[in-house]
Amino acid sequence: MEKTSCVPGKRSVFMVFAALLTMFVICMAIWTVRVSLPVIDVFSETGVWDLRDFDFTKRVARFSGAVEYIPDALLSPQAFEERAGEATPVDTFGSGSRAGTSRMRLLVPDGFSYAISESIPLGSSRVFVNGNWMEDIGAPDEGADHPSGGDAFFYYTATPVNAEIEIVQQITNYVHRKIESHAGYVIGTPAMMRAFFSRNLVTAGMCMGIIILLMLVHLSLWLFFDGQRINIYCLLLCVFMLLYSAIVGGNVLISMFPWIPWRALFTIEYVCSPAIVLLLLKTSDSVYPGVVPKPFFTAVAALSAAFMLSHLLFDTLFISRLMTGYFVLIVVTISYVFVRMLLLSGKTDFAQKIFLAGSAIFAYSGIRDILFYMNIFIPPYSKYANDPVVVIALPFIIYVQMLAMLFNNAHIMNESREQEQNLRVEKVALERTNTLRKDLMAKVAHELRTPLAVMSGYAELISHEMAKSGMDEQAQEDIGVISSEAMRLSHMLDEALKITVSHKETPRNGAIAMDGVLEQIVRLYRPILAHKGTSIDLRVPGNLPAVCGNEGEMTQIMYNLLSNASKHTEDGHILVSAERVSAAGSPGESPAAQASCAGGFVGEDDGGVADERIEVRVSDTGTGIRPEILPHVFTQGAYEGGGYGLGLVVCKEIVTSHGGDIRIESEPGKGTTVRFTLPVPEEGAENA
């Protein structure tokens, strides 16, 4: 992000804080809905959970702790009962056994049906409820040397037998850290369980929807401000955050696509984490230039790449344990960058302060979730232990980034407008200065030309008289020098006059075909006018004669006239036409108007009067011109509000310099017609 001095007004500050507060309230509302259903953690040290006094009509229970466990054996419920004496209460979290069977007994009130559910990514599992086989997840096998399993979001219903529900699990080939504990399931009535998981899916879907909307905004910003890398960083950040939220924020991806292999989901989750960290570092460095030193970023990127590549070399159990070390790296990285941003906070602009506030909230939520996975708990506490706060914070940090970027881009655009306005003012001043310079040069040249001509003429006369009277040759030569130098200075003034670019002295290029000029300018304006709903037609006879003049100046006339017509015509019609008329039928023409191209100029002193002329009309159905303004439209600066000032002045100057005349007719609310005439060259004059 380009570093600019960003000093917002009070209204801008209020709008930004209102937007931030609104988004914060939305995120907190999603979190409140997510944790609103009471989920009570019930702990047991014996593998038996007594829930007979638990109120299942208003809440659900998550049972955790020790289970009855027989290692290195895969047993059916009947076989487990026969070997119950070998079972010991064990918290299987951290167990080194590659295979084992566990039993959990739930003492619950009779008279209810219950639902048991959880998402279990693991190696392989076979589940029995009340002695009945429910399903196989993967392929349980005592002798398997490699993980072979799947990811199941299971949901079983059970009716207690003698006020007891028995769950027996055969588990082999652990591949994920959190399933090293056999307990951790959630139980409740079917209605409460549906409400529980509906809240998870709905809130996760809301977060993902917000991220998708913000992703589209960042995509638009990237397309519009293609010179800013932060836009592509934020766009990629949205993509990875969307994938991460779909996996950990309620198992949305599993619910939508149950056929996706668990290993793919595992890889996506564990690749998204370092990708998000790296992209956050890049966006932070874009907003706070230099806040992430290049050596530090290189080191974090190398470690993140190594963690990503570990998925190709190690099993997921090792990777999930390696994730603990990467969590430490993330905490250190977040803390380091945030402290550096705080140290720069006294020198930051408003957009950077916005980003700093959002980063603080996101950093805290990320550290909170990381500490949770390391069994260190800080607020906000959830009634369900697996609720990640960072999933709720993701839309907020993306929104804050977007807000900071929009505010900064708006500031840059305002600065650009101010610079453009200043350039316009400077341009007007320079044009005025240039006009004054040209006028001064023309006046000085005109005033000096006559005395120089007199000096040169008298010098030649004196030299001639001296030669007749027989005076010495040296004196004649001296007088001749005076004459030649006066002529040379007069020639220099003539060259200087060309710099003034006065239309009356502009060389003409000879005969030009006006029909070609008109066709070209109409073709140019037709698509421009079509965007305003205005049509344009051209009516030119096939035998239209040529005129004597400069094609560039003819194009300039038509451009000015069509520009005015376009400004004042919406959803209307413009007609451009030309025809041959007689000089007598064209009142107002200058009697000295000339039609000769000889000598390359058209002026009032060339002699001869044109008998025929070409009349060009530009008519529109626009707003028209007020009667009090109409007599002054050819006066420079007389009327600028509607755009009729300088353009018509230039048109009149060009037409007059070509020996023609220009008139305008208008009626408010009905439209305007501008017509000008140009003399047709005399026969033979076109090539003179």
Tens digit of each residue's pLDDT (9 = 90 or more) over 161-204: 999 999 998 887 655 444 456 777 889 999 998 888 788 788 88
pLDDT, one tens digit per residue, over 234-285 is 889 889 988 888 887 666 777 777 777 777 777 888 888 899 899 989 988 8
pLDDT of 638 above 70? no
pLDDT, one tens digit per residue, over 643-682 is 455 568 778 888 888 888 999 999 998 999 999 999 888 7
Per-residue confidence (pLDDT) for residue 539, from 0 to 100: 93
How far is 570 from 671, CA to CA, in rounded Å? 11
Per-residue confidence (pLDDT) for residue 493, from 0 to 100: 67
Instruction: State the average pLDDT for the chain.
Output: 78
Bridge partners, 613 (sequence order): 581, 679
Choose between 181 and 405: higher pLDDT: 405
Length reported for the chain? 688
Predicted confidence band of residue 442 (pLDDT cuts 50, 70, 90): low
Instruction: Name the nearest CA neighbour of 152 among 124, 120, 177, 180.
Output: 120
CB 483 within 8 A of CB 425: no
Per-residue confidence (pLDDT) for residue 176, from 0 to 100: 47
How far is 452 from 446, CA to CA, in rounded Å? 10
Of 30-34, 116-120, 146-150, the one with minimum mean pLDDT is 146-150
Predicted confidence band of residue 148 (pLDDT cuts 50, 70, 90): low
CB 304 within 8 A of CB 274: yes
Residue in the structure block whose two tokens are 């995120």: 27
Using alpha carbons only, what angle is made at residue 478 by residues 475 and 481, rounded to the nearest 5 degrees? 155
Interaxial angle between packed helices 10-34 and 350-373, expressed in degrees from 0 to 180 and rounded to the nearest 10: 20
How far is 665 from 484, CA to CA, in rounded Å? 54
**C-alpha distances out from residue 256 to 193, 195, 201, Å:** 19, 18, 11
pLDDT of 424 above 80? yes
Q: Select, from the ranges 82-91, 383-392, 468-477, 483-492, the one with the highest average predicted confidence (pLDDT).
A: 82-91
| C-alpha of 279 from chain center | 18
Of 108-112, 119-123, 294-298, 480-484, the one with minimum mean pLDDT is 119-123
pLDDT of 501 above 50? no
Per-residue confidence (pLDDT) for residue 643, from 0 to 100: 46
Longest alpha-carbon distance in the chain: 156
Choose between 531 and 639: higher pLDDT: 531
Share of the chain above pLDDT 90, in %: 18
pLDDT of 53 above 60? yes
**Residues contacting residue 342 through CB under 8 Å, at least 6 positions apart:** 356
Per-residue confidence (pLDDT) for residue 313, from 0 to 100: 81
Per-residue confidence (pLDDT) for residue 602, from 0 to 100: 41
How far is 137 from 126, CA to CA, in rounded Å? 6
pLDDT of 591 above 90? no
State the sign of the Cα–Cα–Cα–Cα dihedral 60, 63, 68, 71.
positive
Classify burial at 186, counting beta carbons within 10 Å of its beta carbon; exposed 0-12, middle 13-18, buried 19 or more.
buried
Predicted confidence band of residue 48 (pLDDT cuts 50, 70, 90): very high
Of 65-69, 93-97, 618-622, the one with minimum mean pLDDT is 93-97
Choose between 475 and 606: higher pLDDT: 475
Per-residue confidence (pLDDT) for residue 400, from 0 to 100: 84
- Cα dihedral angle (574, 578, 581, 585), rounded to 10 degrees? 20
Which of the 8 DSSP states describes residue 569? -
Kindly report the backbone phi and psi dihedral angles of residue 12, in degrees, each rounded to the nearest multiple of 5, phi listed first: -65, -45
Per-residue confidence (pLDDT) for residue 574, from 0 to 100: 94
* Single-letter amino acid, residue 102: S
Range 640-643 contact pairs with CB under 8 angstroms and sequence separation of 24 or more: 642/567, 642/568, 643/563, 643/564, 643/567, 643/568
How far is 523 from 292, CA to CA, in rounded Å? 55
pLDDT of 588 above 50? no
Predicted confidence band of residue 149 (pLDDT cuts 50, 70, 90): low
How far is 127 from 156, CA to CA, in rounded Å? 10
The pTM assigned to this predicted structure is 0.53
pLDDT, mean of residues 333-350: 82
Predicted confidence band of residue 403 (pLDDT cuts 50, 70, 90): confident
Predicted confidence band of residue 49 (pLDDT cuts 50, 70, 90): very high
How far is 610 from 595, CA to CA, in rounded Å? 5
How far is 656 from 677, CA to CA, in rounded Å? 9
Instruction: Name the nearest CA neighbour of 513 among 562, 483, 547.
Output: 547
pLDDT, one tens digit per residue, over 346-371 is 677 777 888 888 888 888 887 887 77
pLDDT of 438 above 80? no
